[in-house]
Amino acid sequence: MKKNDEFELTIEDLSVEGEGIGHFDGMTFFVKDAIPGDVILARCTKLKKRYGFARVQKVITPSPHRTEPICHVAGKCGGCRIMHMDYEEQLRVKQRMVREKLIRLGGFSEEETDRILKPIVGMEKPYHFRNKAQYPVARSKDGQVMMGFYAPHSHRVVESETCYLGDGVNEKIRSVIKAHPEISVYDEETHRGLLRHVLIRRGYHTGEVMVCLVVNATDESASVTTLTETLLPELIKVEGMRSIVVNFNPSEGNVILGQKTKTLWGEDMIRDRIGKITFMISAPSFYQVNSVMTEKLYAKALEYAALTGRETVWDLYCGIGTISLFLAQKAKHVYGVEVVPEAVEDAKKNARLNGIENAAFLLGKAEEVLPAFYAAGGSTAIPDATLPAENTAESLHPDVIVVDPPRKGCDEACLQTMVAMSPARIVYVSCDPATLARDLKYLCANGYELKEATPYDQFCHSMHVESCVLLERVSNRKADS
């Protein structure tokens, strides 16, 4: 086998990146735009010792799950990796992915996994569900302003008229910005120019819109004012507009938002609701992008937490307090921990806004705050002194701990303290089945038992999958201590 060789390949599986996987001549091949069940004529593009990459030259026999993507840039834009697969099959692929990670990385038996793993919950209409979009801005060769998404593994901006994942308001805002070719656009290569990203949020239930213009500047200079004065008069006319902010990001890296944000027009935040709770969301805070599925996911987390009103609960990686406040309605006390200062401030505001008094929020890394709190023997370590003193013992040994970490999962120092606190139940909300499986393995080796896991399709047409898992304490450590 050498580069450019053509050969027939049957696609058997999908990689985590959404590439088709097939075997030929003792080698494993990864093929973009191919799906399980396809028989293709492949052309080898790159060879390593045991594996290689190939392109689809021709689909000889299409998989029965092949479908024409609704979006004409699917495959070109890095957003939807598996839109050429019918939605039912997408769900099956994700279900298999979670199952396989639990078995291979979690060390759970096939039998146990099949007993605890519930069918994935998918969307009825898997389009236009995202409440947030982050568009990179670039200048095309012919001088136009481009706003789209990056091509896979590159920073080349791919545009399309409509993104089928996003809200309709995105197109209106894009057209306002694209109508001004005279604005200063950021150029990654030279690190010159101003406008680098446009972040748009729209409250799913409220329709409130926020636009955040991310600029390559440290502060509000004359050129930033020129840019904002050009765009503002038309942006404020967009239906639902509540907040226009500028974020200063002078860094050369890939991080989208800088540290500093300033409100240009309207409010600092927008509102949205999850269930009965209203949330204020500021530009840098994390907020679940799929509101429809989030409500279902949080309802499951609440069900797994099995609250009666007497429980003390920790919510680690709490963001703006979404899960915390959801739980607080049914618990005695909730402690949230979050590393982003703005998110902690939002969480406190959100508690007040909803008249919730039994939730406190701690700023810092879960793997530092939790061990420090535990070592210090409780609430003295809580700067927010609104909690009653008699709560100390309960906060050290809560009934339930909920975690919802980013993709890298929980740090071992965090898992260690969770085990030491020995809650009766742990609810693990995860956006990466691999790190989930790793952390479940640790918890199950340290006194917990896997009870149930339900995957959720929060990110349709991508390879991402969210899961909600219930663990219960096996040994009755509370009685021992």
Just list the catalytic residues.
431
**Using an 8 Å Cβ cutoff, are 327 and 315 in contact?**
yes
Q: Which is nearer to ligand SAH, 311 or 338 (CB)?
A: 338
Q: Which is nearer to ligand SAH, 233 or 406 (CB)?
A: 406
Piece of 143-151, 233-241, 250-258, 284-292 that binds ligand SAH (CB under 6 A): 284-292
Piece of 163-171, 202-210, 333-341, 472-480 that binds ligand SAH (CB under 6 A): 333-341
Q: How far is Cα 381 from Cα 373, in angstroms, rounded to an integer?
A: 6
Q: How far is Cα 59 from Cα 39, in angstroms, rounded to an integer?
A: 6
User: What 3-state DSSP class applies to 187?
Assistant: strand
- The binding track of 9-48 with respect to ligand SAH, each residue x by CB under 6 A or -, is ----------------------------------------
- The binding track of 346-385 with respect to ligand SAH, each residue x by CB under 6 A or -, is -------------------xxx------------------
Q: How far is Cα 469 from Cα 466, in angstroms, rounded to an integer?
A: 10
Judged by CB under 6 A, the chain residues 213 through 252 that form the site for ligand SAH are none
Judged by CB under 6 A, the chain residues 398 through 417 that form the site for ligand SAH are 404, 406
Q: How far is Cα 324 from Cα 302, in angstroms, rounded to an integer?
A: 10
Residue 337 lies near ligand SAH (rule: CB under 6 A): yes
Contacts of 143 (CB under 8 A, 6+ apart): 181
Q: Which is nearer to ligand SAH, 394 or 404 (CB)?
A: 404
Among 113, 184, 288, 358, indicate the residue that binds ligand SAH (CB under 6 A): 288
Residue 89 lies near ligand SAH (rule: CB under 6 A): no
Q: From residue 23, give the alpha-carbon distance in Å to each of 138, 204, 418.
A: 40, 44, 43
Residue 432 lies near ligand SAH (rule: CB under 6 A): no
Write out the H or E segment, with its range, that includes residue 174: helix 169-178
Q: Which is nearer to ligand SAH, 169 or 289 (CB)?
A: 289
Residue 318 lies near ligand SAH (rule: CB under 6 A): yes
Task: Tell me the residue number closest to ligand SAH, measured at CB.
Answer: 319
Q: From residue 46, give the alpha-carbon distance in Å to each of 36, 49, 143.
A: 21, 10, 35
Among 138, 209, 293, 343, indicate the residue that binds ligand SAH (CB under 6 A): 343
The amino acid at residue 265 is W
Residue 339 lies near ligand SAH (rule: CB under 6 A): yes
The amino acid at residue 474 is V
- Min separation Cβ 305 and ligand SAH, Å: 13
- The binding track of 178-197 with respect to ligand SAH, each residue x by CB under 6 A or -, is --------------------
Among 186, 204, 286, 448, indicate the residue that binds ligand SAH (CB under 6 A): 286
User: What 3-state DSSP class applies to 8?
Assistant: strand
Over its C-alpha atoms, the chain yields an Rg (Å, rounded) of 24
- Min separation Cβ 389 and ligand SAH, Å: 26
Residue 338 lies near ligand SAH (rule: CB under 6 A): yes
Q: From residue 193, give the alpha-carbon distance in Å to each of 184, 215, 217, 284, 413.
A: 5, 8, 9, 22, 43
**Using an 8 Å Cβ cutoff, are 245 and 263 in contact?**
yes
- Min separation Cβ 274 and ligand SAH, Å: 9
Q: How far is Cα 325 from Cα 319, in angstroms, rounded to an integer?
A: 11
Q: How many residues bind ligand SAH (CB under 6 A)?
A: 18
User: Which two three-digit tokens encode residue 94?
Assistant: 């994700």
Q: How far is Cα 451 from Cα 419, in angstroms, rounded to an integer?
A: 16
Piece of 104-112, 150-158, 237-245, 315-323 that binds ligand SAH (CB under 6 A): 315-323
Phi, psi of 120 (to 5 degrees): -60, 140
**Using an 8 Å Cβ cutoff, are 54 and 31 in contact?**
yes
Among 340, 353, 372, 413, indicate the residue that binds ligand SAH (CB under 6 A): 340
Q: Given the rule CB under 6 A, which residues bind ligand SAH?
A: 286-288, 317-319, 322-323, 337-340, 343, 365-367, 404, 406
